[in-house]
Amino acid sequence: MSDTDALIGNTDQKRRQFLKTSVGAAAVAVAPGMLLFDMAHGKSEPVSGKVRWGMLIDTAKCKDGCDDCVKACNKENGLSGGLSPTDSQWIRKVELKDMRSGRELALPMMCQHCAEPPCVDVCPTGSSFKRADGIVLVDKHICIGCRYCMMACPYKARSFVHEPLHDQKPDVPRGRGTVESCTMCVHRVDKGEQPACAEGCKNKSIMFGNLNDPESEISRKIRTVASVQIRADLGLNTGIHYQGL
């Protein structure tokens, strides 16, 4: 091989190397963008059991008389907020007072997204179900409105839709003759967003996250501070944990 040939060979090598590194750099630069795009448009993968969505509610930060979470929920899901006595309620504020000590506290109460949900056990049509990622939902397409699940729920979390509804939100279909409850804002969670109540709480009392990931913020906090599940004696393993009860 002559000197010129060697020179050309060398140049080719360098060019190849350059192309390789630039393609790599481009992939690194583009990948996060594509991830964001996927998150924003909803995944085409089915949800998996590797994730379990849950919440940790810090009752010390939850202020008496504040109902921002309830308002945020009503707005997001198109609920009336209780204009008529039969209107649905997905989340409510509960205020507690220990008569002996006078200690008061407030907390939001909604579907606890149990790992062993009694509503799913009793449903005769398979309409009440738990998604692989732990969110308990009603498939209203097959709900016959028998309300067994409402009776089975120890948290009184579910409501029955008595009246015909109009102008529902495109992401939150609701209709007469079916039972409904907190969906943990499943349409937002699937887009990679937080549930409306967690986002709407200005005291940052509601922390939302993946209970199955030991490194997630919520798992670390549950490991380090004392928290309880309400009616833990029932062994339902709820996804909603309360701190400071």
Partner 1 sequence: MNPLHDQSAALLGRPLRDVLHVDLLVTVPARIIVFIVALLCLANIAAATESYGMPKLDIGKGGHCVADPQWMRVNHMKVLFQQRDETVHLGIRDGKYSLKNCIECHASLRDNSVIGRADSFCEGCHRYEAVKIDCFECHSSKRSTALAQEVSK
Return residues touching partner 1 (CB under 8 A): 41-47, 129, 131-133, 137, 139-141, 164-165, 167-171, 173-176, 178, 186-187, 190-191
CA distance 120 to 29: 45
Q: How far is the CB of 200 from partner 1 (least distance, A)?
A: 16
Q: Nearer to partner 1 by C-beta: 129 or 148?
A: 129
- Our CB check for partner 1 shows the closer of 15 and 141 to be 141
Residue 117 CB, shortest distance to partner 1, in Å, is 15
The type of residue at 54 is G
- Minimal distance, residue 175 CB to partner 1, in Å: 3
Of residues 156 and 176, the one with the C-beta less far from partner 1: 176
Nearer to partner 1 (CB atom), residue 33 or residue 170: 170
Nearer to partner 1, 50 or 231 (CB): 50
| Cβ distance to partner 1 smaller for residue 92 or 191 | 191
3-state secondary structure the chain: CCHHHHHHHHHHHHHHHHHHHHHHHHHHHHHHHHHHHHHHHCCCCCCCCCCCEEEEEECCCCCCCCCHHHHHHHHHHCCCCCCCCCCCCCEEEEEEECCCCCCEEEEEEECCCCCCCHHHHHCCCCCEEECCCCCEEECCCCCCCCCHHHHHCCCCCCEECCCCCCCCECCECCCCCCEECCCCCHHHHCCCCCCHHHHHCCCCCEEEEECCCCCCHHHHHHHHCCEECCCHHHCCCCCEEEECC
CB of 53 to partner 1, least distance (A): 11
Amino acid letter for position 145:
G
The minimum distance between CB 178 and partner 1, in angstroms, equals: 8
- CB of residue 12 to partner 1, shortest distance in Å: 43
d(CA 59, CA 69): 13
